A and B are shown apart, each in its own frame.
Chain A
Amino acid sequence: MSGRGRRITDEEINELVSRLQSLLPESRRRNMGRVSASKLLKETCSYIKSLHREVDDLSDRLSGLMVTVDSNSPQAEIIRSLLRS
């Protein structure tokens, strides 16, 4: 499935690239306006990297909370009931 032989139009590429722009969070899009495809790809890479870091960080925080959450709290009961279903 290498895509060789299928003619991809510039328009298709531009469409896909601008779709990536719409997926960026507001804070990253703010001063953008119309940017080059390569700038957009760079920004997307930076965004994906920050999301990976967030997953990493949130995993550690969840790990810490697992031991400290009061097992009698309403939150714990909600989670328990969700997990039972």
Chain B
Amino acid sequence: MDSKGSACSNPNPNPTFGPSKLMLAFRFLRALSIVHRTTPASSPTCRGRRIERAAYASMAYSAGTSRAWSRAVLRRLHHRARRRAVAPRRLSTTAGNRAEALRRLVPGGAGMDYCTLLEETADYTKCLSMQVELMQGIVDSASSNGR
């Protein structure tokens, strides 16, 4: 995994993809094609939301089940029919509520001890920025020519 600096600080329009970025790209593009095939053209908002879910799903699948945040994302996605989109959890008192805001932002953050929360935050942030870079790259190449 590329550890040199943040994705956002590299203005290179043609970033070289390491193996994990490539897997992320394949997964996401495959999910995009499914959304494209299965969403009627008349519902752009629905399509936008489906693309967003595809983004988080491919992020989580690429990270695998060894991360608490990716497991939490996949749980949330699979149960979304039964739950509200954002269900605030009561903070566990054993974990304490240090970094309350962070716990709400990182999937699965509510029940973690502080140390784990910091580790999960780092991994989640890295994967999230990679996903954003990927999506920006697709938007850029799709809108640059071929009009």
Residue in B138, B142, B147 whose Cβ sees the most chain A Cβ within 10 Å: B142
Chain A residues packing against B (C-beta within 8 Å): 1-4, 6, 8, 12-13, 16-17, 19-20, 23-27, 41-42, 44-45, 47-49, 51-52, 54-56, 58-67, 69-70, 72-76, 78-79, 82-83, 85
B residues less than 8 Å from A51 (CB atoms):
125, 128-129, 132
A-B contact count (CB 8 A): 148
Q: Does B56 count as interface, using CB distance less than 8 angstroms?
A: yes
Are the CB atoms of A55 and B115 closer together than 8 Å? no
Query: Dominant SS at the B interface?
Result: helix
Interface centre among A23, A48, A51, A75 (most CB of B within 10 A): A23
Binding site for A on B (CB under 8 A): 5-6, 8-9, 25-26, 29-30, 32-33, 35-36, 41, 44-45, 47-49, 51-52, 55-56, 92, 94-95, 99, 101-102, 105-106, 111-116, 118-119, 121-122, 124-126, 128-129, 131-132, 135-136, 138-139, 141-147
The A interface is mostly helix, strand or loop, or mixed, namely helix
Which of A19, A66, A72 sits near B47, CB closer than 8 Å?
A66
Please give me the 8 A-B residue pairs with the lowest Cβ-Cβ distance, nearest first.
A73-B146, A3-B113, A25-B8, A16-B118, A59-B52, A63-B48, A26-B9, A58-B135
Closest A residue to B7 by CB, please name it.
A25
Q: State the Cβ distance, B143 to closest chain A Cβ, in Å.
A: 6
B51 touches A59 (CB 8 A): yes
What residue of chain B has the Cβ atom nearest to residue A17's Cβ?
B118
Chain B residues with Cβ under 8 A from A76's Cβ? 146
Distance (whole angstroms) from the CB of A48 to the closest CB of chain B = 5
CB distance from B99 to the nearest CB of A (A): 5
